[in-house]
Structure 1
Amino acid sequence: MKLLSELINSLGPSGYEDNVRAIIKKEITPYVDEIKTDKMGNLIARKRGKGQKLMLAAHMDEIGAMVKAISERGFLNISRIGGIEPISLIGLRVNILRGNKVICKGVISFKELHDDLEMPEAIPKIEDIYVDIGLELNALKRKVKIGDYIVPDADFDFLGDKNIISGKALDDRIGCYALIQAAKKLKKSPLDIYFVFTVQEEIGLYGAKTSVYDINPDFAIAVDTTISKDGSIKEHKLGHGPFLTVKDSELISNAKLNEHIKNLAKKNKIKIQLEVEDTGTTDATNIMLHKGGVPATVISVGIRNIHSTISIAHYQDIVKTIELLLLVMENPPRLK
């Protein structure tokens, strides 16, 4: 759990994934044959093989915000990074980040609810909320600059027993952790495997779009997180195994690849949950569209409160995701 905790606690909003990349590079380097950081900032680790090229992608970045302006009232106006809902930010303690350094902490605030009797029915917009760091205007301007990053101050922790974990950035440090562990555990594979830790997924899947050109994979799997759906679909639950995407808002997964993964899971008694979704997508979407097309799918860990400041996951779902990835690497599909 130490590595997972370190990844989750690391501060890495879209566009500044340096802290996360440093952790991953240190962990995975002894277990791969080649490793490099491309111009975009993606970390690409390769385990050489003579067979088909497999691209496994997990994104390093997390949702957050950026300082947009400093108001004359002495507060920070913000611009969001990724699909974070303003209502989930209210009352949150945050870190103001510049480079590798947390320069100060703050609290995200909104007009006091008791100031307006109608306010409980209002849905706040991003322009309605602000960060209060407890300084007067002149001191604030000396401390904070436009363009500084804002990330949740919400460390890794356990809920209930030791299998239920919580924290910020589970999306997608869980995927990063799964790829690292899979690289460590893999003994032998006929495939030429690329473990790709992408940047800027949360704002447009950009790291996947550029890194796939460097690899030209024969097939690909994005490893990400998804909505657990415990409350709406009774068959979908934390602790019931990883999700295999059939469809999301931008991707229809390769049917042959999915069938192969389902057969491997069934044969090895790994529970999986099938996902058909109308919203959201992953790095697999941009990978799939490379050149003449790449057979692709997504294996995800279900989490509660996705794209909020603190999410919840079941550790055994992560364990089973790693096992499933190993099975695919050891038993590649025939897709032609």
Structure 2
Amino acid sequence: MELLKRLTEEHGPSGDEGKIREIIKKEIKPYVDELYRDKFGNLVARKKGKGTSVLLAAHMDEIGVMVKSIDVDGKVYISPVGGIEPVVLLGEKVKIISGTGKTVFGILTCKEIQDGAELTALPAMEDVYADVGMCAKEVKKAGIAPGNYAYLMKGYMEMADGNVVSGKALDDRIGCYILLELAKKLKNSNADVYYVFTVQEEIGLYGAKTSLYSIDPEYAIVVDVTESDDGRLHEGHGKCLGHGPVIVYKDAEMITNKCINDWLIKAAKKLKIEVQPDVGNFGTTDALSVSVSKGGIPCTAVGVPVRNIHSTTSVANKQDIKDAIKIIYEVLKNPPKVCL
């Protein structure tokens, strides 16, 4: 999965998805008839067809951090971009591109770690800063200022004899990867397929909200990741690595379309692929914004289970990714009309 590696290792926090957009643009261009960036930054690709009009969506952005302030000692304090806990940031390497174009590297830390003191409580986000090895005067001279992104630098790694991947931004570069693979497979389908790669999902599902103004699909499937809860198998919970893609029935904000869910389940049974149901109480996806756009769009979400979600050390199973592609393709190679 060299393409997934490239997608995860490139930087693209919310509001700064340009480099991810360029990778996707080059990869999808041979398989679509239309390709454009909308005013908000979403990348929209269309494979024209005489059949059912379908939207597939995945978000390009990742969680991250931004420079908030610089103190008199040269400590570079940060603000979270998206839902990231301060504890997962400690010890992370960051790269800051200053306003003058200078690249500055640093380590995220807090006072207790710097002083070698005992941590008696988990640090708050306002306690975490980047140590860039400079005094305040040097930091200013380097051009570092509030508003600069501090890019998290964790790389991609394969584990378990190459069957499992780990790295930053699996949320949701996995979804982007799945859409790109589907574009190759659906090139000769009679479906009229829109591939929408959205921006700013992690801070409010904003890209998905604006993208539907220029598109009118009959239904939609959003592809994202979902937190794996392997450790709760004994309680009868699902969403485990290696047990197949997840079909979302409900999350904290929406109930998905039963008709589309039934197609996906039927396709999985035909292909003898295990799928996992998700009836969740927390979080949501771009499917929420899509489903309530315009006059309402029938929509569901397909997820790939990921451990350590919203961290730089997320873990996913390759087979779950491959199976998600197979199931969605099985439905869309001859796309049915949606039932309401």
Answer whether TM exceeds 0.5 for this pair: yes
Secondary structure of the corresponding residue to residue 20 of structure 1:
helix
Q: Deviations over 1:9-37 (max 9, x none)?
A: 01101001000000000011001111001
Amino acid at match of 1:254: N
Partner of 1:196 in structure 2?
Answer: 196
User: 1:257, 1:335 within 8 Å by CA — same for their partners in 2?
Assistant: yes
Q: How many angstroms apart in 2 are the aligned matches of 1:79 and 1:60?
A: 20
* Range that drifts further, 262-271 or 163-172: 262-271
1:257 is the counterpart of 2:263: no
Distance 1:187 1:95 in 2: 39
Deviations 1:41-96 (A, max 9, x none): 11101000122221100000000010011111211111110000111101111121
Secondary structure class of the residue paired with 1:112: helix
| Equivalent residues of 1:257, 1:333 under 8 A apart | no
Aligned length: 334
- One-letter code of the match for 1:148? N
Corresponding position of 1:228: 228
Residue number in structure 1 paired with 2:31: 31
Contact 1:224–1:282, Cα closer than 8 Å, also in 2: yes
The answer as to whether partners of 1:95 and 1:102 remain within 8 angstroms in 2 is: no
How far residue 259 of structure 1 moved from its aligned partner, in angstroms, is: 1.1
- 1:132: which partner in 2? 131
2:162 corresponds in structure 1 to: 162
Does residue 240 of structure 2 align to residue 241 of structure 1? Answer: no
CA shift for structure 1 position 216:
1.6
For residues 5 and 46 of structure 1, do their structure 2 counterparts lie closer, same or farther at Cα, with a shift above 3 Å needed?
A: same
Is the CA contact (8 Å cut-off) linking 1:28 and 1:180 kept in structure 2?
yes
Match 1:292 to one of 283, 291, 295: 295
Distance 1:285 1:110 in 2: 37
Is residue 95 of structure 2 the alignment partner of residue 95 of structure 1?
A: yes
Alignment-derived partner of residue 176 in structure 1: 176
Q: Which amino acid aligns with 1:127?
A: E
Alignment partners' CA distance in 2, 1:148 and 1:206: 21
- Using structure 2 for the length normalisation, give the TM-score: 0.94
Which has the larger displacement, 76-85 or 181-190? Answer: 181-190
The 5 Å alignment of 1:137-156 reads 137-143=136-142, 144-156=144-156
1:278 aligned onto 2:311 = no
**1:309 offset after TM fit, Å?**
1.8
Distance, in Å, in 1 between the alignment partners of 2:260 and 2:77 is 46
The separation in 1 between residues aligned to 2:97 and 2:329, in whole angstroms, is 36
Cα deviation for residue 188 of structure 1 reads 3.0
2:55 and 2:334 map into 1 onto residues whose CA distance is: 15
Would the aligned equivalents of 2:52 and 2:337 in 1 still touch at CA under 8 Å? no
> More deviation in 9-18 or 102-111?
102-111
CA deviations on 1:222-245 (whole Å, 9 max, x unpaired) are: 101110111123543211111110
Counterpart residue number, 2:269 = 266
Residues 1:302 and 2:301 are matched in the alignment: no
Structure 1 residue runs without a partner (length 5+): none
SS of the aligned residue for 2:171 comes to helix
CA contact (8 A) 1:95 1:105 kept: yes
**Contact 1:249 1:279 (C-alpha < 8 Å) held by counterparts:** yes
State the 1:115 CA deviation: 6.5
How far has the Cα of 1:287 moved from its partner? 0.3
Letter of the 2:183 counterpart: A
Matches of 1:176 and 1:62, distance apart in 2: 12
1: CA distance between counterparts of 2:310 and 2:102?
Answer: 22
* Alpha-carbon shift at residue 141 of structure 1 (Å): 1.1
Q: Per the alignment, do residues 98 and 37 of structure 1 end up closer, same or farther by CA in structure 2, a change over 3 Å counting?
A: farther
Are the counterparts in 1 of residues 154 and 168 from structure 2 also a CA contact under 8 Å?
yes
User: What is the CA distance between 1:116 and its match in structure 2?
Assistant: 6.0
Query: SS of the counterpart of 1:180?
Result: helix
Q: Secondary structure of the equivalent of 1:106?
A: strand
Partner SS for 1:231: helix
- Which residue is 1:66 aligned to? 66
1:315 aligns with 2:315: no
| Distance of 1:335 and 1:186 partners within structure 2 | 19
Q: Which residue is equivalent to 1:77?
A: 77
1:50 aligns to what SS in structure 2?
coil
Distance 1:315 1:221 in 2: 20
Q: How far is the alpha carbon of 1:332 from its aligned partner?
A: 2.1
Separation in 2, partners of 1:264, 1:325:
8
CA distance in 2: counterparts of 1:75 and 1:272, whole angstroms: 47
Q: Is the 8 A contact 1:105 1:133 kept in 2?
A: yes
3-state SS in 2 of match to 1:174: helix
Structure 2 alignment gaps of length 5 or more: none
- AA aligned opposite 1:230: D
Could you tell me whether the CA contact under 8 Å between 2:51 and 2:335 is conserved in 1? no
Under a length normalisation based on structure 1, what TM-score does the superposition of the two structures give?
A: 0.95
Query: Contact between 2:98 and 2:104, CA under 8 Å: does it hold in 1?
Result: no
| Cα distance in 1 for residues equivalent to 2:300 and 2:73 | 49
Give how far 1:160 is off. Answer: 2.3
